Structure 1
């Protein structure tokens, strides 16, 4: 399993507070990776560190072995990184159709409408008038339409119905990209082979496969700080 991106000894500070405490985290190619943790655990900061929207105070970000620590977010995007944050992930004053065309870099938005047919009758609506779940579908369309080598999504299913959330995860798991998502707990519908990293207070407490994490959790095991690094 080849590594597409990785954090090495990564530390991130927000003022006097350190959000990541020197973590090592590989992102395998063509694999779905889930970052789990409560609010404040550091999962969103990991995504931002990979995307380049927050700087590291120490450590490195590697992309296929090349050091990209100093590359800005737009430079990483040009290299094939798609980041969908949990908020402000769309253009509220533009219509749904215009948002999709920007993501597709052209008028061919059929792929997104195949994944999210709920958006079809909303095409003339301004994005800011949509419900929370509808806005999330529109934001996730960026990951559907933009060809990317790395896809980072913070809470993909936020505001979605269970059926749409399961469809979203099926699609994310089928992408030919290194996909990393952040969630508070394991969502339903994760494909076999999904990798899980559990963060607590800016440190990794578990790294392994989903089945191992599930058996460990339901078995009541606390385990070491990282059972598989």
Structure 2
């Protein structure tokens, strides 16, 4: 099992504090979902885990080891993969060249996303938003990372491809952490851990079933069926 966590983490951008002592954990194999509106801190959590932004206070712990001062490239070398919401592919390279950066054989990625096959010779910058997300996720799938951090993985995808994407992520032998504004339909009936953030703090941590019951109660509706 692989675990990654933030402990009392604070992140500042100039005079503004984006995370206010956040403590949360993710374990794998399995999916952990970070929920929150824009500005809630969910993207900052992913970037802090990956080492892209430094902590002003607190620690990042990976499999029991404090990696707070370990640079992002070293975390990547040890098996941590970050797929950001934007600029997740090399636009000047072709689809094939993007995939070959992750693995000599792109076949597993093309099996996962057959729609990429006719696009192999295209430059990534010419792809649609959904196609770029498929390419970015394909590179993550090929990397065989132990920790996969993805910001809005299904952005721009059709509902069917989005559902397929979450099946692929849930099937990885890795600790998968995804950031979303809302709980994805593909995960509503799947066992996963949810951390909801609001204005840089964690306001809920629990299983998807508990989160759904809580959301229904807040909305004044009945408890959703399992």
Task: Report the TM range for the smaller structure's normalisation.
Answer: over 0.9
Do residues 146 (structure 1) and 137 (structure 2) align? no
Question: What residue in structure 2 maps to residue 200 of structure 1?
Answer: 198
- Give the alignment partner of residue 167 of structure 1, picking from 164, 167, 186: 164
CA shift digits 1:149-168 (9 cap, x unpaired): 10000000010001000000
Consecutive aligned runs of 4 or more in structure 1 exceeding 4 Å deviation: none
CA distance in 1, matches of 2:212, 2:95: 38
CA shift digits 1:61-114 (9 cap, x unpaired): 01111110001110000110010000011100100000011121x1x1110001
CA distance in 1, matches of 2:217, 2:140: 35
CA contact (8 A) 1:3 1:26 kept: no
Residue 221 of structure 1 deviates from its aligned partner by: 7.0
Question: What residue in structure 2 maps to residue 73 of structure 1?
Answer: 72
Residue 31 of structure 1 deviates from its aligned partner by: 1.5
Gaps of at least 5 residues in structure 1 are 223-229
CA distance in 2, matches of 1:112, 1:214: 32
Question: What residue in structure 2 maps to residue 181 of structure 1?
Answer: 178
Question: What residue in structure 2 maps to residue 227 of structure 1?
Answer: none
CA distance in 2, matches of 1:121, 1:109: 13
Residue 28 of structure 1 deviates from its aligned partner by: 1.0
Relative distance call for 1:126 and 1:59 in structure 2 (3 A) is same
CA contact (8 A) 2:51 2:70 kept: yes
* Aligned-pair Cα RMSD in Å: 1.2
Do residues 115 (structure 1) and 97 (structure 2) align? no
SS of 2:150's equivalent in the other structure is strand
Residue 143 of structure 1 deviates from its aligned partner by: 1.7
Residue 6 of structure 1 deviates from its aligned partner by: 0.7
SS of 2:186's equivalent in the other structure is coil
Gaps of at least 5 residues in structure 2 are 221-226
SS of 2:93's equivalent in the other structure is coil
Question: What residue in structure 2 maps to residue 48 of structure 1?
Answer: 47
Question: What residue in structure 1 maps to residue 26 of structure 2?
Answer: 27
Q: How many residues align?
A: 219
TM-score by length of 2: 0.94
Residue 175 of structure 1 deviates from its aligned partner by: 0.5
